[in-house]
A = this chain, B = another copy of it.
Amino acid sequence: MSEVEIRTYPIETLQEFSSAVFRHFGVPDEDAALASEVLAKSDLRGIDSHGVARLHTYFDMLELGRINPTPEISIVRETPSTATVDGDNGLGLVVGPKANEIAMEKAAACGSGWVSVSNTNHYGIAGYYVLEAMKRDLIGMSMTNTTKLVAPLWGGERWFGTNPIAMAFPGLEEPAVVVDLATSASAYGKIEIAKRRGEPIPDGWAIDAEGHPTTDPDGMIEGGAQLPLGSTREMGGHKGTCLAAMVDILTCVLSGANWGPLAPPFALRQEVPDRSVGKGIGHFFGAMRIDGFIEPDEFKRQMDDWVRTYRATKPQPGSPGVVVPGDPEREAEAVRATEGIPLVMPVVEELRDISKRTGIAFD
């Protein structure tokens, strides 16, 4: 394993560059600022796979006219606490925040808001949306489907996306508990890293194109599939499958988007499904007013107690001890906000390529 060359950039530099790239394709100023903010949040929180590392894919899609830079986002059906939103094939980074805003406004008006979204595209990190909700003393929920990568338990091919679920719960003095997880056993990015390093992946992460368990990253990447959280029947792979199905149905069947293996591809190299059953991919957002259940200060005091009691859990021998959900990302953000975002050279080269092709300065 060789040392990886890294370049570090202030978050402002990356955010301004992303924003300029979106504007270059006619995305309105305000939407470009919003989209680049979502990407930046991912880089700040240390989720490198969902930040500027994806900008080139958004670039490709905009350049090919596969994403609408000026969507007219509309509510196609609603009740006081629910809505279905059509994203008009806009950037998920724009449609997502706007649909989340609708959920939050409904919560302000009647206690909670639940919004299912069709005709949208990749929306960045699920966690961004629930952090926004938390700013308003709301408990947010965020889900999205993604292009197929994950086999159901006992399935021999890709069927689900990595279908993440996020929720966040604020404390008073202690940091928030932020839940943000893909429903697959591992992250696809980790399989790519293993491939780059020439290392095997753990048993339980993937199957190959024939459906056999594999520890070869290429076995998964070349037509194989990831496994759901739980991996095998014995270890609860049916549970990860259930969670992936739940996200798939709430984000897509409920909104009229393309579910399961029919989700349209995000990146150019991905296979196009043989049929379409809806519009684009789908998201699902929820927001609940804490004061719709309990005094917010009382809730937050209990959360402080929860976090402190949790941290005091007896550690498993030989382990670092328990981790409060959200701590690693919060700690990354504290460092990266001041010290900058470390990018590996392949990502830097992608940004330079965008710079060359758009004339927007980056070095």
Interfacial residues, chain A to chain B (CB-CB below 8 A):
77-84, 110-112, 114, 116, 139, 151-157, 159, 165, 167, 169, 177, 179-186, 202, 204-205, 207, 210-212, 229-231, 234-236, 238-243, 245-246, 248-250, 253-256, 259-262, 277-278, 288-290, 292-294, 298-299, 302-303, 305-306, 309-310, 313-317, 319-323, 325
In the bound complex, do residue B82 and residue A80 qualify as a contact, i.e. CB atoms below 8 Å apart?
no
- A211 touches which one: B79, B84, B155, B317 (CB < 8 A)? B317
State in angstroms the CA–CA spacing of A290 and B79 once bound together. Answer: 11
Contact of A152 among B212, B294, B313 (CB under 8 A): B313
- Known contacts being A80-B111, A154-B315, is A185 close to B230, with CB within 8 Å? yes
Chain B residues, CB < 8 A from A77: 292-294
Known contacts being A79-B292, A261-B309, A314-B211, is A154 close to B322, with CB within 8 Å?
Answer: yes
Q: Which residues of B contact A111 (CB under 8 A)?
A: 78-82, 114
* A82, B292: Cα distance in complex, Å: 6
Q: Is the CB of A253 within 8 A of B302?
A: yes
Closest to A237 in B: B229
Residue contact A159 to B211, C-beta cutoff 8 Å: no
Known: A80-B80, A152-B310, A261-B309. 12 other contacts (CB 8 A): A81-B81, A114-B288, A156-B315, A182-B239, A186-B234, A207-B316, A211-B317, A229-B230, A230-B236, A253-B299, A260-B309, A260-B310
* A262 to B229 Cα, complex, angstroms: 28
Q: How far is the CB of A85 from chain B (nearest CB, A)?
A: 10
Q: How far is the CA of A292 from the CA of B293 in the complex (A)?
A: 22
For A84, what are the chain B residues with a Cβ–Cβ distance below 8 Å? 293-294
- Complex Cα distance, B65 from A18, in Å, reads 64
Q: Which of B151, B256, B309 has a CB less than 8 Å from the CB of A294?
A: B256
Set of chain B residues within 8 Å of A114, measured between Cβ atoms: 111-112, 288, 292
Measured between C-beta atoms, what is the minimum distance from A236 to chain B in Å? 5
Residues of chain B within 8 A of A288, CB atoms compared: 82, 114
Query: Given known contacts A77-B292, A79-B111, A294-B255, is B235 in contact with A322 (CB within 8 Å)?
Result: no
B-side contacts of A181, CB under 8 Å = 236, 238-239, 242-243
Residues of B within 8 A of A157 (CB): 313-314
Residues of B contacting A153 in the complex (Cβ-Cβ under 8 angstroms): 322-323
Task: Compute how far the CA of A154 lies from the CA of B229 in the bound complex, rounded to whole angstroms.
Answer: 18
- A229 interface neighbour in B184, B239, B293, B306, Cβ under 8 Å: B239
